[in-house]
Chains A and B, each alone.
Chain A
Amino acid sequence: DIQMTQSPSSLSASVGDRVTITCRASQGISNYLAWFQQRPGKAPKSLIYAASHLQSGVPSRFSGFGSGTDFTLTISSLQPEDFATYYCQQYSSYPLTFGGGTKVEIK
């Protein structure tokens, strides 16, 4: 199974900050990586697919980068609605696996 390791597991940041979350795969997954945002009590929402492609309707302050084993999600200027938990997920091979999540909290 491919293990997905996110770091950090949590972070505190202020509105307007630039935030970067890292996701590392235990083996190469090409660009078969997605990122999700989950607000408390809500369903996950897709942000990015194929490592760097923004889903329709997602603000351009979100961006994804990477290929192979190392990936990043960057929020260029944190907004109040961005405080949430973020997950990466590989869809290169079965079982599909998620990272443990990164909780972004208000400083």
Chain B
Amino acid sequence: EVQLVESGGGLVQPGGSLRLSCATSGLTFSNYWMSWVRQAPGKGLEWVANINQDESEKYYVDSVKGRFTISRDNAKNSLYLQMNSLRVEDTAVYYCAKGGSHDYWGQGTLVTLSS
């Protein structure tokens, strides 16, 4: 059974940093592109970033470019999102998802920006 488990969310002040993690099991992690997708409270889904199998390709939505960095550790079957210079509008549940078509999702981790 494929499982994706996010962690690392929490309450942070604007301008602060957080590192999200996504631990995976039940799949050959190193074979797949991986994504981060977020959902602001009461809003729709927004793709944030994704990464290919060997980290040679990374893509970001414009609103996070230069602030967020996606990475992975294939030996640990884990995906990461380093988030710097956080803004109030980054408040959301952050999901990790498998592949570009997002065929498996984690349960999400909540990131809340508040002063």
Decide whether A and B are members of one complex.
Answer: yes
- B-side interface residues, number (CB < 8 Å): 21
Known A95-B61, A96-B47: A46·B101 in contact at CB below 8 Å: yes
Q: How many residues of A contact B (CB 8 A)?
A: 22
- The 8 A CB mask of B84-108 against A (1 = contact, 0 = none) is 0000000000010000111111111
A25 within 8 A of B: no
Q: Is the CB of A100 within 8 A of B105?
A: no
- Prevailing SS type, chain A contact patch: loop
Contact (Cβ within 8 A) A44 B44: no
Q: Is A101 an interface residue when CB atoms closer than 8 A count as contact?
A: yes
B54 within 8 A of A: no
A38 cross-chain contacts in B, Cβ below 8 A: 45
- Interchain CA distance A94-B59 in the complex, whole Å: 8
Q: A43-B106, A44-B95 are in contact. Are A98 and B101 (CB under 8 A)?
A: no
A97 in the interface (beta carbon within 8 A): yes
Interface residues of B (CB under 8 A from A): 35, 37, 44-47, 50, 59-62, 95, 100-108
